[in-house]
Amino acid sequence: MFAERLKQLRKENGISQQKLADLLGLRQSTVAMWEKGKNSPEYESLLKIAKIFGTSMDYLTGQKAQKTAHRIPVLGYVRAGIPTEAVEEILDYEDVTVPESDKGNYFALRIKGDSMAPRMMEGDTVIVKKQSDCVSGDICVALVGSGDATVKKVIKKDTGIILMPLNACYEPLIFSMEEIESCPVTIIGKVTELRAKI
């Protein structure tokens, strides 16, 4: 499986065996042996190959479907604190590695506020997968009312939901089933990754 996928990726990217060998600091004959299935790369070389082709080690070794890098927009700010309107202006772009079939289902938002501190701080970016439901305990972006968005841990109860901050200085936002419908409160996505500022 590795031999086939390496050869396919190399050809799709227009890279010769010699060029790949140069990038890896190896001999061309080593790459040729890999593609013939007569030898396999060590872990460090496998890691470098995955980085060169923007794919995963699992894909290279035949364990998972290919994931490729896609650029997604950072859409305005979302408050980690009191809900505030999520303005859909593009502030920046982030590269994410997701399955090809899933590339349109992700967006990013910039954090404002400190209700999710110390895990999420102002200026951090969250990668969000679009989905209208979640499992209790997931950290999600929720719309409260007509256009107010907030990042919170979602706790599901039989009587409603709680949007729970991680910062103890903030009170949880509690909604009954009736309030979820009338307000409304809507889950727009699950946070899958945090990209923090250093």
Active site residues: 115, 152
Half-sphere exposure of 55 (CA within 13 A, CB side): 23
- Rounded to the nearest angstrom, the gap between the alpha carbon of residue 177 and the centroid of all alpha carbons in its chain is 30
- The percent of the chain in helix, strand and coil, each rounded to the nearest 5, is 25, 35, 35
Strand blocks (E) in 38-147? 67-79, 84-85, 90-99, 106-112, 125-130, 139-144
The two beta strands, 148-157 and 173-176, are unpaired
**Short-list 154, 103, 162, 155, CA closest to 127:** 103
For residue 35, the surrounding DSSP H or E stretch is helix 28-35
Q: Is 102 helix (H, G, I), strand (E, B) or coil?
A: helix
Cβ-based burial of 57 (10 A; exposed 0-12, middle 13-18, buried ≥19): middle
